[in-house]
Structure 1
Amino acid sequence: MRSISLPPNDTAPRIEPLAKLPVFWNLAGKRVVMAGGGEGAAWKTELLLACGAVVDLYCSTAELSDSMASLLDRPDIRHHAHPWRFDIFAGAALALADLDGDEEARAFFCAARAAGVPVNVIDKPAFCQFQFGSIVNRSPVIVSISTDGAAPVLAQAIRQRIETLLPPALKQWAELAQSLRKAVSHRLPPGLSRRLFWERFAARSLSTNEPPDEDATHRLLSSLDHVSPTATVGSVTLVGAGPGDAELLTLKAMRALQAADVILFDDLVSPEVLELARREAKRFLVGKRGGRESCRQDDINDMMVRFAKAGKRVVRLKSGDPMIFGRAGEEILRLQREGIEVEVVPGVTAASAMAAAFKTSLTHRDHAQQVRFVTAHSRHHDLPKTLDWPSLSSPNQTTVFYMGGRMAGRIEQRLREGGMPADTPVVVMSSVSRTTERRWAGALASLPDAMRAIGVDQPVLIGVGEVFAAVAVAYGKEDQRQNKQIQRHM
């Protein structure tokens, strides 16, 4: 017999080892045994009833907690006002118990197993054949998280994170998907056309907080006759990435990143934000930084159009808020001219993050009745010629200069010329909300010196106005304290 030499199997396993098998069990109309009437039993009973089970509850009336007692008027729970017995398990799909002592828990566990009924004694892992996970409920979409009992708090934290990612209206969209399955299967052949329809459906359901209405259902059914793999057009979403800290990203922004096929991101977008994007998405750096080589705006516009016309879901990821000094207007106009669907997801602008970091209200009613966001950088790499400096120098307002690092000396000069006092409070912050963040506070006259200390290599924000007076005083006292310490050690 000729031997056959096979290559070594050095590929990774398709499924890594699992601590437990995750199973979703249909309990509709099934009988479930519950022993005990405490709070733990009540919570599990509510869960079972939500799954459509019929619960036979065995416990004395004196054992009933308030929560369990409130459930007894439901027709799908039957209260037997006596302790559990060995003959109660016949015909049960599951058996659960909320029992104090280990001896009774062991007896219940063994009795259920002898009857061939899967069993769980609440909060006693040694007497459990199965566990309950932490649940995210968008039924018919259900997400269950388990840490195999090792870290329940971690499971809750994961559940909370997933809750923020899944819009509440996903329940209604999933129900609509169920109702459309037959029509889609009948009118679209298996393969690319059917997959394209469901991909569009999924992208829509995960990107909106609004449940589908009758018009949405009608449009979806009408679109079945127009699904063509060769004529599909994608979409573009302009997403605000915030100033850098990934925790400042909005929920809607995270959903857009998770649904993207292509991401065109600015140089200022932090790696932590990009880590939240869909792993399969293609990423292209299209950074635009003053004084550095960067992509032309026309090239970025062309890329968005090209990818969208190829049927891709494109995310144009911008630092801060896309509608504040982000050239979003030019991009939106080009996309609309090309007939491409465009959506905007706002982000936390750097001025808001700076105000939060300094714990300063930009509109403190004692000092400022208006706020101005001003770009300190024109397309000619100079201060914009259209700025009204006398107006910017007026009191009772807060002004925040974006991209002002290299122009700080000029800003101080023009404000002074416009009539602003030399002792007007000023704050400076670079790399807002990032680990490399640097801060300074003082008087307007010292602004050029501040920039020599802060540096101009990172994005710089300059805030001017009386709302920063307390910050400037606090930083001045800190400087004096540090100087005294230095002199003490000389």
Structure 2
Amino acid sequence: MDRLPFSLPDFLPGHVWLVGAGPGDPGLLSLLALHALTHADVIVYDALVDPRVMALANAGAILEFAGKRGGKPSAKQPDISNRLVILAREGNRVLRLKGGDPFVFGRGAEEALTLSKAAVPFRVVPGITSGIGGLAYAGIPATSRETNSAIAFVTGHDASGDVPDSVDWEHLAKAVPVLVFYMALKHLDRIASRLVAAGRRPDEPAAVVSRASTPQQRVVVGTLNDIALLAQREGIEPPALVVVGEVVRLRQELNWQITFS
């Protein structure tokens, strides 16, 4: 970091940095993310942050776990947001570390709004979201000129934990050739059924990528008709993302982790 031909911004006391840690592989961290890890006084981190990333933290930093996992006791979002304010007002350099990107299904906007209302200075450091990086590590491109000129990122559940009713499933199914679902494993069978009912082909390629970009990464490929059953048979566990579309077929040739290992 000392050899950089440019300077990175100071991480000042009383400031909060909302940082994306990427999908898992610590090599995908940005320079700003690494800078924050090595200078933070307090790191408030999520369950999806890879342990290898946490190993890069400043040895003197206080680590506070604030992870959320479905079906398990988790910190409430207002409590996490308010905790950031308290820590900053105590004069700490506060790093809020999130898996993926803080503004892509990461509740980073909620935390930033709380900080803004409390007049706590903050910086947002984007991270590689799993819907991009995770697919790349599975050998599935998010876009390809031969298959799609649009892509949609969709949450697999709403605030209640159910399949989101706010999604216009018919429009989504007909208008967007490639769909990437976050946190959708629990409701995958229902999501697939809704897409087929809205007009998607039952034999359309689909894949589930679990623990993307980590040594535990697993990928299951099938069709909309059978992907939920295949994921269940293979014992796939979250965190996982689901991709639907013709780009999945390209994995046969682009699975670089196997082809060039």
TM-score > 0.5, shorter chain as reference? yes
Q: Is 2:196 aligned against 1:416?
A: yes
The one-letter code of the counterpart of 2:107 is R
Choose 1 or 2 for highest CA Rg. Answer: 1
Q: Is 2:78 aligned against 1:298?
A: yes
* Alpha-carbon separation, structure 1, partners of 2:144 and 2:109: 31
Identity %: 38
For 2:237, the equivalent position in structure 1 comes to: 457
* Alpha-carbon separation, structure 1, partners of 2:144 and 2:33: 30
For 1:168, the equivalent position in structure 2 comes to: 5
Q: Is 2:20 aligned against 1:240?
A: yes
CA RMSD of aligned residues (A): 2.1
* Alpha-carbon separation, structure 2, partners of 1:276 and 1:398: 35
SS in 2 for 1:445: coil
Q: Is 2:241 aligned against 1:404?
A: no
For 2:107, the equivalent position in structure 1 comes to: 327
The one-letter code of the counterpart of 2:222 is G
Return structure 1 stretches of 4+ with deviation > 6 angstroms: 472-475
Q: Is 2:219 aligned against 1:439?
A: yes
Q: Is 2:163 aligned against 1:383?
A: yes
Q: Is 2:68 aligned against 1:288?
A: yes
Aligned length: 255
Q: 1:277 to 1:474 in 2, by over 3 A?
A: closer
* Alpha-carbon separation, structure 2, partners of 1:451 and 1:432: 15
The 5 A counterparts of 1:292-371 are 292-371=72-151
* Alpha-carbon separation, structure 2, partners of 1:278 and 1:358: 31
* Alpha-carbon separation, structure 1, partners of 2:175 and 2:204: 9
Provide, for residues 263-307 of structure 1, a one-character-per-residue CA deviation record: whole Å limited to 9, x for no partner. Answer: 000011111000111110000000011221100011101210111
* Alpha-carbon separation, structure 1, partners of 2:165 and 2:252: 30
* Alpha-carbon separation, structure 2, partners of 1:457 and 1:424: 23
The one-letter code of the counterpart of 1:408 is L
* Alpha-carbon separation, structure 2, partners of 1:396 and 1:336: 35
SS in 2 for 1:432: coil
* Alpha-carbon separation, structure 1, partners of 2:220 and 2:98: 26
Q: 1:454 to 1:344 in 2, by over 3 A?
A: farther
Query: Would the aligned equivalents of 1:441 and 1:471 in 2 still touch at CA under 8 Å?
Result: no
The one-letter code of the counterpart of 1:262 is V
**2:35 aligned residue (232, 239, 255):** 255
The 5 A counterparts of 1:40-439 are 162=1, 167-170=4-7, 204-205=9-10, 234-394=14-174, 397-439=177-219
Q: 1:429 to 1:366 in 2, by over 3 A?
A: same
For 1:466, the equivalent position in structure 2 comes to: 246
Provide, for residues 225-262 of structure 1, a one-character-per-residue CA deviation record: whole Å limited to 9, x for no partner. Answer: xxxxxxx9601000101111111111110001111000
Aligned-residue offset at 1:355: 2.4
For 1:173, the equivalent position in structure 2 comes to: none
The one-letter code of the counterpart of 1:337 is K
Greater RCO (CA < 8 Å, at least 6 residues apart): 2
Query: Would the aligned equivalents of 2:23 and 2:134 in 1 still touch at CA under 8 Å?
Result: no
Provide, for residues 326-366 of structure 1, a one-character-per-residue CA deviation record: whole Å limited to 9, x for no partner. Answer: 11111111101111101011111101122212333222122
The one-letter code of the counterpart of 2:155 is T
Q: Which runs of 5+ in 2 are unaligned?
A: 256-261
TM-score, normalised with respect to structure 1: 0.50
Aligned-residue offset at 1:453: 2.8
Provide, for residues 67-86 of structure 1, a one-character-per-residue CA deviation record: whole Å limited to 9, x for no partner. Answer: xxxxxxxxxxxxxxxxxxxx
* Alpha-carbon separation, structure 2, partners of 1:269 and 1:474: 26
Aligned-residue offset at 1:167: 4.2
Aligned-residue offset at 1:473: 9.3
Q: Which runs of 5+ in 1 are unaligned?
A: 1-161, 171-202, 208-231, 476-490
The one-letter code of the counterpart of 2:60 is E
For 1:16, the equivalent position in structure 2 comes to: none
Aligned-residue offset at 1:474: 9.6
SS in 2 for 1:325: coil
The 5 A counterparts of 1:13-24 are none
Query: Would the aligned equivalents of 1:427 and 1:464 in 2 still touch at CA under 8 Å?
Result: yes
* Alpha-carbon separation, structure 2, partners of 1:243 and 1:455: 20
TM-score, normalised with respect to structure 2: 0.91
Q: 1:394 to 1:253 in 2, by over 3 A?
A: same
Query: Would the aligned equivalents of 2:136 and 2:142 in 1 still touch at CA under 8 Å?
Result: no
For 1:38, the equivalent position in structure 2 comes to: none
Provide, for residues 424-444 of structure 1, a one-character-per-residue CA deviation record: whole Å limited to 9, x for no partner. Answer: 010111111111111111211
